[in-house]
Structure 1
Amino acid sequence: MSSEVQKGKKRGKAQYLGNAKRHKGGKQLEVGMQGILITCNMNERKCVGEAYSLLNEYGDLLYGAEKLGEKDDMASGSEEEEEDDDDVEVALKKEVDQIRTSTEKNLCRFQSVESGANNVVFIRTLNVEPEKLVHHILKDLFTTKKKKTRVILRMLPVTGTCRAFPEDLKKYAETFFEPWFKAPNKGTFQIVYKARNNNHMNRDEVIKDLAEIVGSLNPENKVDLSNPVFTIVVEIIKIVCCLSVVKDYTLFRKYNLQEVVKTTKEEFPQQPANDDKDKAQEQSKEEPVPATDT
């Protein structure tokens, strides 16, 4: 192999992992973020690179190619000229709004931030539905059986985040669960729970509290550990609680990218659910799933 080809491969690898260098020492996972929580096998830097590659591929398919903002500059300039005589308070507010808009325009669709736990990567998302995107990825891998990652293990959407304290979680969950479980919406469900670097949340109490909230939104919501329509995923890291409600959790092997490509039709003859929340999922016939994650 020529030295030029080898250099080309090195450049390709560097470009592939380029953004991963920002993983260490960057912004941390915090309350208010949406995104995707990814577990990996030791190599976090490579995991970030794989995540960017995979998410950008499917993000472009679902949402179109990403375009960083460079518009509206002339428009904002003309507004400034028209409002030169504004008082100080209005001018200050306008400047703050412009800074916020400029910041939002230049944020990437996917951005790695510190998760706060080893072998866990968090990719913050902007203008993306994490639940829809991750389900689409897993559905495609399940269908095509094409292995696209090496170090990524599980990929879990994080639709909402709150402080990881019992009262904060209960208050947040009352509103968060409404799109799936508030009457007339309903569905069978299970709850899976995982805590990292946190010792002040009790697993059994969290599951009990969340199950009661789901039941209060519609008495027809029932726990089902065999064929749940929905799986409530609770992932706690330090003082941040990440929440999501996902479909096809067992069909997609607990959202494990390595295992989902191994699944055979003989093992799971049913079809994945539609990506839309408001479409009923077909009941799957699968092996019983524990109520909690391990």
Structure 2
Amino acid sequence: MSEGKRKFQGDDKKRKKKYRSDGTPIWGKRHVEGPGVWVSCVKGKEKQTVGEIYELFESVAAELWAKSEDKGVASHDSDAENEDANLSLEDQIANEISAMKRPRTHPEQRFANCQTNTPCVVFISCKPPVNPVDLVVKCIRNIEETGVTRTRYVHRLVPVSGTCVANLPEIQSLCQRVFGDFFDQHPDTKFKYKIELRVRNHTTIDRSTLIQHVAQSVPEGHTVDLENPKLFILVEVFKSICGISIVEDYYRLHKFNVMEIANGSKKPDAVAESRVGPATGKEEAGKGKTT
């Protein structure tokens, strides 16, 4: 009896409500941590997709967010070279041997793969200063300009500025944070917006209720426009996770579908080179379709 009571009290402590630094409560746990990017891909090629996305994102992020530590290393190497120039040959050789024995330091990884345990779906978490929206838009615009996807298995990229457990209190809290970060940068602009909701493997909250709660979190003065919106509020619900972001040109950029962007470019030869291959491309792409 006493053991059962102690066990219950222990469980009760584990259920104790947790709070963020801003005072909002945390209503659940999750394995997918945002901000990040949802990636839909060819079925059975999830592992390969993660590898090619790492390479693509690291390349684009290096252009957008040059790391300060990289600059520091370059400066240090330059100073070391200047010092070596004034040393004797024996001292220079001794310094090189010492440098070879010194443990190498690796810069912190910008991206991390979060397990989704679902075919055709990958989630890549992004660490500061990487902004998922800027990252995806840059990738898409590069494809639009060159016609080269630089990926073989990726279908679509969906950035999320933040994620939360898919329940109404957490979603409202996430909306307030994401919307605040965006609209505070445009205090004198009134936007027309549309909510783009995509729900997969989730039945707890119905679509109309979710859209209503997201719309209620948009600051006053901004209006809904289903025909010609300036902004698109992307709401991605996958299982027990909800992700939200704000983007522009979403329809013009084919909802960030990389192959549609490549096929619509003016460089058909480059598009052909970026595909999986003439013999297997169509077959594998068909396997990766999701609803």
TM, length-normalised to structure 1: 0.62
Report deviation, 1:262: 2.1
Q: How do residues 235-254 of structure 1 correspond to structure 2 at under 5 angstroms?
A: 235-254=236-255
**C-alpha distance 112-67 of structure 1, shift in aligned 2 (>3 A):** farther
Task: Give the match for residue 114 of structure 1.
Answer: 115
| Residues in 1 aligned to 2:117 and 2:188: alpha-carbon distance in whole angstroms | 38
Q: Which secondary structure does the structure 2 equivalent of 1:261 belong to?
A: helix
Shift of 1:213: 2.1
Distance apart, 1:223 and its partner CA: 1.6
CA distance in 2, matches of 1:137, 1:129: 12
Which residue number corresponds to residue 210 of structure 1?
Answer: 214
Shift of residue 245, structure 1, vs aligned partner? 0.8
Q: Is the 8 A contact 2:37 2:132 kept in 1?
A: yes
- 1:181 Cα deviation after fit: 3.8
1:174 aligned partner: 176
For 1:67 and 1:181, how far apart are their aligned partners in 2?
A: 31
Matched-pair identity in %: 29
Amino acid at match of 1:238: K
Preserved contact between residue 116 and residue 238 of structure 1 (Cα < 8 Å): no
Q: Give the unaligned 5+ runs of structure 1.
A: 1-27, 72-104, 266-292
- Letter of the aligned partner of 1:197 in structure 2? N
Compute the RMSD of aligned alpha carbons.
Answer: 2.8
Query: Residues 30 and 145 from structure 1, CA distance in 2 versus in 1: closer, same or farther, beyond 3 angstroms?
Result: same
What does 1:142-153 align with in structure 2 at a 5 Å threshold? 142-153=144-155
**Secondary structure of residue in 2 paired with 1:172:** helix
What is the SS of the residue equivalent to 2:215? helix
The offset of 1:32, in angstroms, is: 5.1
Q: Structure 1: which amino acid aligns with 2:112?
A: Q
Q: Is the 8 A contact 1:153 1:257 kept in 2?
A: yes
- Secondary structure of the residue aligned to 1:161 is strand
Q: Report the structure number with the largest CA radius of gyration.
A: 2
Distance in 2 between residues matched to 1:192 and 1:239, nearest whole Å:
18
Shift of 1:180: 3.2
How far 1:117 moved relative to its partner?
Answer: 3.1
- The amino acid that maps onto 2:241 is V
Matches within 5 A, 1:21-170: 30=31, 33-42=34-43, 43-64=45-66, 107-127=108-128, 128-170=130-172
Q: Show the counterpart of 1:197.
A: 201
Question: What CA distance in whole angstroms lies between the structure 2 residues aligned with 1:114 and 1:67?
Answer: 29
Q: Secondary structure at the match of 2:223?
A: coil
Q: In structure 2, what residue type is equivalent to 1:135?
A: V
8 A contact 1:154–1:255 mirrored in 2: yes
Greater than 4 Å deviation, 4+ residue runs: 65-68
Instruction: Give the aligned residue type for 1:243.
Output: I
Contact 1:35–1:123 (CA under 8 A) maintained in structure 2: yes
Please list, as runs of the form range in 1=range in 2, the aligned pairs for 1:4-23 lying within 5 A after superposition: none
Residues 110-153 of structure 1 deviation map (CA, whole Å, 9 limit, x = unaligned): 11111243211011111211111111111111122223222101
1:64 Cα deviation from its structure 2 partner = 2.7
The answer to whether the Cα contact below 8 Å between 1:117 and 1:197 also exists between their aligned partners in 2 is no
Aligned length in residues: 203
Distance across 2 between alignment mates of 1:117 and 1:188: 35
In 2, Cα distance between the equivalents of 1:163 and 1:29?
6
> What TM-score does the superposition give when structure 2 sets the normalisation length?
0.63
What residue is the counterpart of 1:284 in the other structure? Answer: none
Question: CA distance change for structure 1 residues 171 and 251 in 2, over 3 Å: closer, same or farther?
Answer: same
